[in-house]
Amino acid sequence: MDNADVIREEVRERYAAIARAVGGEAGGSCCGGPASCGAETDALFGAGLYRDSERSELPEAAVLASLGCGNPTAVADLREGAVVLDLGSGGGIDVLLSAARVGPTGTAYGLDLTEEMLALARRNAAAAGARNVHFLKGRIEEIPLPAGSVDVVISNCVVNLSPDKAAVFAETYRVLAPGGRLGISDVVAEDRLDAAARAARGSFVGCIAGALSVSEYEADLAAAGFEDVSVTFTHELLDGIHAAIVKARKPAGEEAPEPVGAPATARGCC
């Protein structure tokens, strides 16, 4: 395997283990960190970043499996009838919250690499009685949806785990309809930290080594074609490393390209 495949396998195994733990009614972990996160991390990762009213809507297993660094559904401005895609959907917490916001005329997709997480998410969707959700297996660098088929893309502390972020942004741009929006939570570094400094603060699977800086995020999204790009820190995770809200928009006049090698319909829907 090349280095990218090694990273993906490390990420897959880490989150598979978390899904198995949650399925066995054990606690999850915070963004690939220690097996048990103490109270001091509750405000930084996971379910503590969601309102009590949101958590009460969901199956307990979906809440336990929440590993993100933010609450993208709180900033994505989801509307009735919209199609939303969650990159790295894990146990399904953001997909289920999104499904409730877009209503029965909308659709919420979740994309994840890990079979164990997909199985957990599908059980959670069934327990929640959610009928407008579909969970897909695949890489966020190769989204198995047609071009121009999504109104909003969300994600929660996952893009930083990708070894090929340019591909993630290109694919996100492709699947968004003209005028479609990106609204994600992610781990982002201050510009003063170079790649070596980020690596010294944590591993790739622990969400730190793979974090882009603010200027890198802005430049990479612009290079993919996005406009109105913004990166806003929400809380500090480590010295120079922050949780952040990242927003961008596909130009309204941009015609959706013909899909290249993408299926005409989604694969692997539940």
- Model pTM? 0.78
Does the residue 263 lie in any domain? no
With the C-alpha atoms ordered 32, 34, 37, 42, is the resulting torsion angle positive or negative?
A: negative
**15-17-18 Cα angle (round to 5):** 65
Helix-, strand-, coil-residue percentages of the chain, each rounded to 5: 35, 20, 40
- Tens digit of pLDDT for each residue in 25-51? 434 434 544 333 333 344 445 555 555
- Rounded CA gap, 52 and 248, in Å? 28
- Cα dist. 54→5, 10, 40, 93, 200 in Å? 35, 31, 21, 9, 36
State yes or no: pLDDT of 90 exceeds 90.
no
Whether 181 contacts 76, CB under 8 Å: yes
The mean pLDDT of 15-23, rounded to a whole number, is 58
pLDDT at 202: 64
Does the residue 141 lie in any domain? yes
Does the residue 35 lie in any domain? yes
Does the residue 155 lie in any domain? yes
pLDDT at 13: 63
Task: Name the band, by pLDDT with cuts 50, 70 and 90, for residue 99.
Answer: very high
| Three-state secondary-structure class, residue 153 | strand
Give the amino acid at 157: C
**48-180-210 Cα angle (round to 5):** 50
> What are the DSSP E strand ranges found in 88-209?
107-112, 133-137, 150-155, 176-189
Tell me how far apart the 2 most distant CA atoms of the chain are, in Å. Answer: 49
The mean pLDDT of 95-99, rounded to a whole number, is 92
Structural domain boundaries enclosing 179: 3-249
pLDDT at 219: 97
- Rounded CA gap, 197 and 145, in Å? 36
pLDDT averaged over every residue in the chain: 78
> What are the DSSP E strand ranges found in 190-226?
212-213
Does the residue 11 lie in any domain? yes
Does the residue 259 lie in any domain? no
Helical (H) or strand (E) element with 231 = strand 227-238
| Three-state secondary-structure class, residue 179 | strand
State yes or no: pLDDT of 204 exceeds 50.
no
CB atoms within 10 A of CB 92: 33
Our measurement of the distance from residue 127's CA atom to the centroid of its chain's CA atoms, rounded to an integer in Å, reads 22
pLDDT at 144: 97
CATH of residue 146's domain is 3.40.50.150
pLDDT at 23: 57
Does the residue 239 lie in any domain? yes
Length of the chain as a residue count: 270
The residue ranking higher by pLDDT, 225 or 22, is: 225
Q: How many domains does the chain have?
A: 1
Q: Which of 92, 250, 97, 88 is nearest to 178 (CA)?
A: 250
The residue ranking higher by pLDDT, 144 or 262, is: 144
What does DSSP assign to residue 259?
P
pLDDT at 54: 60
Does the residue 270 lie in any domain? no
